[in-house]
Structure 1
Amino acid sequence: MMESQQEPKVTIPPLIPLEYSNRMMLKTILECGDDQIGLFGKTVVVGGWVKSSKEVKREPVAAALKPPTAAEAFPPSPGRKELSCVEVVQSRIPFFKKIIRVFGVSSDSYPGVREKFEPVPKPPPPPPSKFFLQISDASSISSLMVVIDSAVVPVSAGHVLPTGTCILAQGVLEKSSSHGKQTIELKVEKILHIGTVEPDTYPLSRKRLPLDSLRDYPHIRPRTTTVASITRICDTLDFAAHTFLHNHGFLHVQVPIITTIDSEGFSEKFQVTTSKKWGLGSGSDADVRHETVKAEQHIEARDKSKLGTGVKPEVKEDFFGRQSYLSVSGRLHLESYACALGNVYSFGPRFRAEKTGSIKQVAEMWVVEVEIAFSQLEDSMKCAEDCFKFLCKWILDHCPHDMKFVTKRIDKTIVHRLEYMMSISYERISYREAVDILRKVTDKTFETKLRWGVPLTAEHLSYLADDHYKRPVIIYDYPKAVKPFYVRLNDDGKTVAAFDMVVPKMGTVITGSQSEERLDMLSARMKEFDLSRDQYEWYQDLRKHGTVKHSGFRLGFDLMVLLMTTGLTDVRDVVPFPRTHGKANN
Structure 2
Amino acid sequence: MTTKTVAQLLSKDNTLQDVTVKGWVRTFRANRFIALNDGSTINNIQCVVDFENFDEALLKRITTGAAIHVAGELVESQGKGQSVEIQVKELEILGDSDPETYPIQPKKHTFEFLRENAHLRTRTNTFSAVMRLRSSLSFAIHKYFTENGFYNMHTPIITGSDAEGAGEMFRVSTLDAKNPPLNEDGTVNYKEDFFGKETNLTVSGQLEAETYAMSLGKVYTFGPTFRAENSNTSRHLAEFWMIEPEVAFMDLAGNMDLAEDFLKSVLGYALENNKEDLEFLDKRLQDAEKSLPEAERSPMNLIDKIKFVVDNNFKRVSYTEAIDILRNCKPNKKKKFKYLIEEWGADLQSEHERYLVEKHFKCPVILFDYPANIKAFYMRLNEDGKTVRAMDILFPGIGEMVGGSQREERLEVLKEKMKALDIPEEELWWYLDLRKYGTAVHSGFGLGFERLVMFTTGMGNIRDVIPYPRTPQNAEF
* 1:520 equivalenced with 2:408 (yes/no): no
Map 1:259-270 to 2 at 5 A: 259-270=159-170
* 1:418 equivalenced with 2:398 (yes/no): no
1:140-169 Cα shifts (integer Å, max 9, x gaps): 111111233444343526643321111122
1:445-483 Cα shifts (integer Å, max 9, x gaps): 222243222311112112111221121111111111111
CA–CA distance in structure 1, aligned partners of residues 469 and 205 of structure 2: 21
1:27-75 Cα shifts (integer Å, max 9, x gaps): 0001x22x45x32xx232211111111234xxxxxxxxxxxxxxxxxxx
Match of 1:580 in 2: 471
Match of 1:187 in 2: 87
1:277-324 Cα shifts (integer Å, max 9, x gaps): 2xxxxxxxxxxxxxxxxxx3xx28x87xx98xx997511222211111
CA–CA distance in structure 2, aligned partners of residues 160 and 508 of structure 1: 50
Match of 2:348 in 1: 456
Aligned pair partner of 1:397 in 251, 272, 282 = 272
Match of 2:425 in 1: 533
CA–CA distance in structure 2, aligned partners of residues 222 and 356 of structure 1: 26
What amino acid is the match of 1:470?
A: K
* 1:508 equivalenced with 2:400 (yes/no): yes
How much does 1:401 deviate? Answer: 1.3
Map 1:129-278 to 2 at 5 A: 131-154=32-55, 156=57, 159-176=60-77, 178-277=78-177
What amino acid is the match of 1:327?
A: T
* Preserved CA contact (<8 Å) 2:305 2:396: no
CA–CA distance in structure 1, aligned partners of residues 241 and 392 of structure 2: 18
Q: How many residues align?
A: 460
How much does 1:206 deviate? Answer: 4.6
* 1:48 equivalenced with 2:48 (yes/no): no
* Preserved CA contact (<8 Å) 2:213 2:247: yes
Go from structure 1 to structure 2 and tell me whether the alpha carbon gap of 1:257 and 1:313 turns closer, same or farther (over 3 Å shift). Answer: closer
Match of 1:344 in 2: 219
CA–CA distance in structure 1, aligned partners of residues 33 and 311 of structure 2: 46
What amino acid is the match of 1:203?
A: P
* Preserved CA contact (<8 Å) 1:54 1:161: no
CA–CA distance in structure 2, aligned partners of residues 540 and 133 of structure 1: 64
What amino acid is the match of 2:70?
A: A
1:9-28 Cα shifts (integer Å, max 9, x gaps): xxxxxxx94xxxxx211100
Match of 2:260 in 1: 385
How much does 1:508 deviate? Answer: 0.5
Match of 2:244 in 1: 369
Match of 2:447 in 1: 555
What TM-score comes out, normalization by structure 1 length?
Answer: 0.75
What amino acid is the match of 2:4?
A: M
Report the RMSD for the aligned CA atoms in angstroms: 2.0
* Runs of 4+ more than 6 Å apart: none
* Preserved CA contact (<8 Å) 1:160 1:194: no
CA–CA distance in structure 1, aligned partners of residues 92 and 194 of structure 2: 50
CA–CA distance in structure 2, aligned partners of residues 426 and 254 of structure 1: 30
What amino acid is the match of 2:7?
A: K
CA–CA distance in structure 2, aligned partners of residues 174 and 507 of structure 1: 49
How much does 1:572 deviate? Answer: 0.9
Larger radius of gyration: 1
Identity %: 38
